[in-house]
Structure 1
Amino acid sequence: MDRVATSLLLVACSLLFASVLASDPDPLQNLCVADLNSTVSMNGFACKQTVSEEDFISRLLSSVQPVTTPDVFVVTLLNVEQFPGLNTAGISLARGEMGPGAVNSPHVHPRSTEVFFLLEGKVQAGFVSSNNLFSRTLEKGNVFVFPRGLVHFQINLDDAHPARFLAVFNSQNPGAERLGSTLFGSGISDEVLKKSFKLNEQTISQLRKEFTG
């Protein structure tokens, strides 16, 4: 990553740290590396008793391979479950690889604001608030903010070249609910879907097959 890209990424991270209302509660100690094997049930993860420098480094994002296949989108999450050192830090990341023309379909993060940093390519990004669409075309180095809990999306506008992005979240586990699978892959009754979206049974059946594999 060049110097300009690095500077912009630091700005993106600063926006999250400067948030007045944090998505996660403030930590009560200097560090709390997640013990993913603990049987303790709590809203989060218990702390490991013994930690080392290795608990605070992740090499997962450096191993991500570019995606060049058209219409293929791959996201690599780096939250507390993949990186236990993030436990109680109130932050997580994701790296997205978008093949030519690929879309990151409409979804929400119920527990986090997202700062979207475009590493490479040309992408349209947008979110919806009270039925109003806020959308812009982004180029390399641009940063876009998706407010917490709002439906948002990205699409690679280039049909010949891939796009890459880094997303930063102000939650160690922001969650993601995709509209298609949530509505048509979750078991909501046909009657509810018919009356809500004015769809016939055949269309609903086709959509269920699409979003349940």
Structure 2
Amino acid sequence: MLIGEVAARSGISARMLRHYDRIGLLSPSERTAGGYRDYSDADLRRLFHIENLRSLGLPLADIPAALADDARAPSDTIERLLHRTRARLAVLTELAERLEQVRSGEPRDWSDALRMVELLRGLEAPDASARQTLALTADADHASTAVLVAALLREDDLNTAGALLWAVARAGDDAVPTLERGLHDAEAARRHRAMRALEKLDTPRARAALG
């Protein structure tokens, strides 16, 4: 079967098929008298396996080993794919949480948004003293409040948590909606921190959230 027909039937572009040939992933077994690629049934079967592995998320670089190692159980490959997928999911979940925090701050412009991202990264620094210093010096404006509250709810270091609690208290009622959501967090420690922060605010709105 010539490359154009393979592309038409499989939905894989001729360009991609040529790429597979160049990297040695799938080279047609035969050539026509005119030098055109001619795919055998065995080639098409290999192409089917390649596309199945790609659909599971296996990178092209790992596919030759998966195809060549007949002794390896399919479950081994699936286990590696599952591990890689979970790692990607964790990264995407963290990114989604960051974007949610930035959105909650309702940045007025790109300068505001970038400042919030910088604050997010700073409050995730491994050095607790650096996080504490940033909490004490951060602007307690509307755009920063959601970031400060999120950092407070996850902070384990007592000194840094105290600095963040002070910063959140300075934000006043701007912090209440995010703290109120924290009261329903799946982690008990985060619920407790949200409750303490609302108690420290002690405004009518904060007391209503506690009630």
Q: Does the alignment reach a TM-score above 0.5?
A: no
Higher strand share: 1
Q: Which category of TM-score, normalised to the shorter sequence, fits these structures?
A: under 0.3
- TM-score normalised to the size of structure 1? 0.25
Q: Which one has the largest radius of gyration? A: 2
Greater per-residue helix proportion = 2
Q: Identify the structure with bigger relative contact order (alpha carbons < 8 Å, sequence gap 6+).
A: 1
Compute the TM-score of the two structures, normalised by the length of structure 2. 0.25
